[in-house]
A = this chain, B = another copy of it.
Amino acid sequence: MAKSPKISASHEPGGLIVHISGLLPSLSPAEQRVARLVVANPADAARRTITDLATAAETSEATVIRFCRSVGMDGYPQLRIRLAAEAARRIEPPDARVVGGDIPPGADLAQIIATIAFNDARAVEETAEQLDPAVCEQVVEAIVGAGRIEVYGAGASGFVASDFQQKLHRIGRIAFYFPDVHTALTSAALLGKGDVAVGISHTGTTSDVIEVLEQARARGAVTVALTNFPRSPITEIADYVLTTAARETTYRSGAMASRLAQLTVVDCLFVGVAARNRARARRALEVTAEAVRTRRVGGSRRRS
**A residues at B contact (CB < 8 Å):** 25-29, 46-47, 49, 77, 80-82, 84-89, 91, 103, 105, 107-110, 112-114, 116-118, 120-122, 124-125, 127-129, 131, 133, 136-137, 140, 154-156, 159, 162-163, 166, 203-208, 210, 229, 232-233, 248, 251-253, 256, 259-260, 263-264, 267-268, 270-272, 274-275, 278, 282, 285, 292, 295-299, 301-304
Contact = CB atoms under 8 A, between A and B. Distances in A.
Contacts of A298: 204-205, 232-233
How many copies of this chain does one complex carry?
A: 2
Contact of A124 (B121, B163, B268): B121
A259 B263 contact: yes
23 contacts: A26-B299, A81-B81, A85-B87, A88-B88, A88-B89, A103-B275, A109-B140, A109-B272, A113-B128, A117-B128, A120-B264, A121-B125, A154-B295, A203-B302, A203-B304, A204-B298, A204-B302, A205-B304, A206-B295, A206-B296, A232-B302, A248-B303, A260-B263
Contacts of A121: 121-122, 124-125
A302 B26 contact: yes
Nearest to A229: B302
B124 A25 contact: no
Nearest to A236: B298
A109 B124 contact: no
The secondary-structure label for the interface of chain A is helix
B112 A117 contact: no
Nearest to A163: B159
Contacts of A159: 159, 162-163
B303 A25 contact: yes
A112 B271 contact: yes
A137 B125 contact: no
B120 A137 contact: no
Given A113-B128, A116-B128, A205 B88 contact: no
A274 B47 CA distance: 41
A232 to B, nearest CB: 6
Contacts of A203: 296, 302-304
Contacts of A117: 124-125, 127-129, 264, 268
- Give the one of A122, A267, A272, A299 with max B CB within 10 A: A267
